[in-house]
Amino acid sequence: MKFRYVACFTMILLLTVKVFAWGDDAKLIIEALEGRMSIYYNGNPVRLEKPPLVVNGSTYLPLRVLADLFNKAIQWDARTNSIDMADRTDPLIGILKEEMVKKDLKVKELDEKIKLMEKQAAGQNMNIDDVEEEIREALGTHAGVSFLILLSGNENEVRVKLYTDLKEDQKAWNRLSSSEKLEYLQELGDAITTYYPEARIKGYAIDMKDSRRLMTFNSSPTGDMRFGTYKNYSTISTLEDMFNDEYRNYLADMCIGVKLLGNETNPVFEIHIPYEKYKAKWEATSDSRVKNLMGKITADIEAAFRECLITGYVYDTDGKVPLASCWKQPDDDLVFQREE
Summarised one tens digit per residue, pLDDT across range 325-336 is 999 998 899 999
Model confidence at 13: pLDDT above 50? no
Residue 268 half-sphere exposure, CB side, CA atoms within 13 Å?
12
Q: What pLDDT, on the 0 to 100 scale, is given for residue 312?
A: 96
Higher pLDDT, 3 or 232: 232
Q: Where are the alpha helices (DSSP H) in the chain?
A: 63-69, 91-123, 128-139, 166-175, 178-195, 235-246, 275-284, 287-305
Task: Calculate mean pLDDT across residues 136-156.
Answer: 91
pLDDT of residue 303: 92
* Predicted pLDDT at 117: 64
Q: Is the four-CA dihedral 295, 301, 306, 311 of positive or negative sign?
A: negative
pLDDT score of 322: 92
Span of 24-33, 172-181, 192-201, 318-327 with lowest mean pLDDT: 24-33
Please list the residues that pair with 127 across neighbouring strands: none
pLDDT digits (tens, 9 = 90+) for 83-125: 888 887 777 777 888 888 888 888 877 776 676 566 655 555 5
Domain ranges of the chain: 2-87, 90-125, 128-226, 231-340
CB 267 within 8 A of CB 298: no
Amino acid, single-letter form, for residue 261: L
Instruction: Name the more confident of 243 and 93.
Output: 243
In this prediction, residue 16 carries a pLDDT of: 29
Burial of 270 (0-12, 13-18, 19+ CB in 10 A): buried
- Using the predicted structure, report yes or no on whether residue 22 has a pLDDT greater than 50: no
Q: How many residues does the chain have?
A: 340
Ramachandran region, residue 71 (left: φ > 0; alpha: ψ -120 to 50; beta: rest): left
Q: Which of 9-13, 61-65, 92-96, 270-274 has the lowest mean pLDDT?
A: 9-13
Q: What's the mean pLDDT when you consider all of the chain? A: 83
Residue 5's pLDDT is what?
Answer: 35
Question: Does the CA dihedral 207-196-305-337 come out positive or negative?
Answer: negative
Asked if residue 9 lies in contact with residue 21, where contact means CB atoms within 8 angstroms, the answer is: yes
SS (H, E, C) 61-83: CCHHHHHHHCCEEEEEECCCCEE
Arithmetic mean of pLDDT, 213-221: 92
Bridge partner residues of 60 (DSSP): 53
Q: C-alpha angle 194/262/275, rounded to 5°? A: 80
Q: For the domain covering 128-226, report its CATH number.
A: 3.30.70
Q: How far apart are CA 184 and CA 146, in angstroms?
A: 12
pLDDT of residue 29: 72
Residue 4's nearest CA partner among 36, 34, 24 is 34
HSE toward the beta carbon, residue 183, CA cutoff 13 A: 7
For residue 162, pLDDT over 80 is answered with: yes
More confident residue, 113 or 53: 53
pLDDT of residue 190: 93
Q: What average pLDDT does this structure show over 13-41?
A: 58
**Lowest-confidence segment of 6-15, 90-99, 234-243, 286-295 by average pLDDT:** 6-15
Spatial contact of 162 and 149, defined as CB atoms under 8 Å apart: yes
The whole-number pLDDT of residue 102 equals 82
318, 276 Cβ separation under 8 angstroms: yes
Q: Is the pLDDT of residue 62 over 50?
A: yes
Residues above pLDDT 70, as percent of the chain? 87
Higher pLDDT, 307 or 337: 337
CA distance 318 to 148: 8
> What is the reported pLDDT for 314?
95
For domain 231-340, the CATH class is alpha beta
